[in-house]
């Protein structure tokens, strides 16, 4: 399977953000996309998406990067 670019993944979040609590799957799509970004590009990039798209206002929480990177090792 071809890996999606970070830009493409961010565009998915941007598109779905306005539909959280309006469409049934937007919350799940954003959560799965953030998990994919964290796995493929790192937790810093996923946290940046949370900041850039103001997702904390909608209930998402940033991950502690130091703890997660330590767990990977």
pLDDT digits (tens, 9 = 90+) for 54-68: 999 999 999 988 765
Structural domain including 17 reads 6-66
How many domains are contained in the chain? 1
Calculate what percentage of the chain has a pLDDT beyond 90.
81
- The DSSP code sequence of the chain is -PPPPHHHHHHHHHHHHTTTTTSTTHHHHHHHHHHHHHHHH-HHHHHHHHHHTTGGGGT-----HHHHHHHH-
Q: Supply the pLDDT for residue 65.
A: 81
Mean pLDDT across the stretch 27-50? 97
For 61, phi then psi, to 5°, come to -125, 145
């Amino acid at each position: 399977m071809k890996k999606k670019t970070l830009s493409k993944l961010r565009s998915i979040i941007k598109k779905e953000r306005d539909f959280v609590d309006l469409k049934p799957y937007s919350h799940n799509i954003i959560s799965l996309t953030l998990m994919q970004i964290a796995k493929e590009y790192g937790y810093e990039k996923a946290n940046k998406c949370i900041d850039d798209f103001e997702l904390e206002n909608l209930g998402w929480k940033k991950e502690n990067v130091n703890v997660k990177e330590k767990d990977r090792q």
